[in-house]
Amino acid sequence: MVNITSDVNVMEGDKLDIVCRVDGSPTPTVVWFKDDMKIQSDGDNIRISTTEDDKSSIVFISLASPANNGVYTCMATNAAGSANRTIQIQVKKRK
C-alpha cells in the first residue's frame, strides 16, 4: 500500500518535503521519480530519506525553485509486487 501527500503549491525559496507512506510485508523498497526520471540525492538541495520504521520515504528540497515543478512519483516494490502514487508540485515565483 502506498499513500502520498496531496498536490502541493509552494513559493520559490521555501523548503519542500514530499512524504510517501508505505506499508507491506516484506518491507517495500521505495524509489522516487520526477517526470519519469529517477531522483537522486544531490547532497545539497535534494535529499531522500526513509524513516526509522521504514514506513515513510521523504524527498526534502531545501530551496524550492521552478526547476522543481513537475510530477513526482513514489514507487514501492517488494516480493508481492509494486504500487505507485503521484503528486503534482508547482513552485510559484515570488513577486
Residues 52-66 have pLDDT tens digits of 888 899 999 999 999
- Tell me the whole-structure pTM to 2 decimals: 0.90
Residues 11-34 have pLDDT tens digits of 999 999 999 999 889 999 999 999
Residues 28-83 have pLDDT tens digits of 999 999 999 999 998 889 999 998 888 899 999 999 999 999 999 999 999 999 99
Helix (H) or strand (E) holding 46, with range, is: strand 46-50
Residue 35 to residues 32, 66, 74, 89, Cα–Cα distance (Å): 10, 14, 11, 11
Domains with residue ranges and CATH for the chain: 2-92 (2.60.40.10)
Burial of 91: CB neighbours in 10 Å, binned 0-12, 13-18, 19+: buried
Q: In whole angstroms, how large is the CA radius of gyration of the chain?
A: 13
Question: Which triple of cell numbers denotes residue 76?
Answer: 514501492
